[in-house]
Amino acid sequence: MIAVQPFGRTGHDSTRTIFGAAALGKVSQDDADRTLEVLLAYGVNHIDTAASYGDSELRVGPWMARHRRDFFLATKTGERTYQRARDQFHHSLERLRVDGVDLLQLHNLTDPAEWETAMGPGGALEAAVEAREQGLVRFIGVTGHGVRAPKMHLASLKRFDFDSVLLPFNYLMSQNPEYAADFAALLALCRERNAAVQTIKAIAIGPLGDRPRVHATWYDPLLEDADIDLAVRWVLGRPGIFLNTASDIHLLPKILEAASRFQSAPSDAEMEQMVARRGMTPLFTATSTP
| Strand-pair category, 219-221 with 17-20 | unpaired
CATH code, 4-278: 3.20.20.100
SS3 letters for the chain? CCCEEECCCCCCEEECEEEEHHHHCCCCHHHHHHHHHHHHHHCCCEEECCCCCCCHHHHHHHHHHHHHHHCEEEEEECCCEHHHHHHHHHHHHHHHCCCCEEEEEECCCCCHHHHHHHHCCCEHHHHHHHHHHCCCEEEEEEECCCCCHHHHHHHHHHHCCCCEEEEECCHHHHCCHHHHHHHHHHHHHHHHHCCEEEEECCCEEEECCCCCCCCCCCEEECCCHHHHHHHHHHHHCCCCCEEECCCCCCCHHHHHHHHHCCCCCCCHHHHHHHHHHHCCCCCCCCCCCC
Q: Cα–Cα distance between 273 and 285 in angstroms, integer?
A: 22
What is the pLDDT, as a whole number, of residue 251?
97
Q: How far is CA 219 from the centre of its chain?
A: 15
Contact 165, 186 (CB under 8 A): yes
What is the pLDDT, as a whole number, of residue 285?
79
Q: Which residues pair with 13 in a beta bridge?
A: 6
What is the pLDDT, as a whole number, of residue 215?
84
How far from 263 is each of 235, 239, 269, CA to CA, in Å? 12, 12, 18
| Strand-pair category, 164-168 with 196-200 | parallel
What is the pLDDT, as a whole number, of residue 208?
87
What is the pLDDT, as a whole number, of residue 287?
52
Ranges of residues in the chain with a pLDDT under 70 are 286-290
Name the average pLDDT for the chain. 96
Name the nearest CA neighbour of 156 among 188, 125, 177.
Answer: 125
pTM listed for this prediction: 0.95
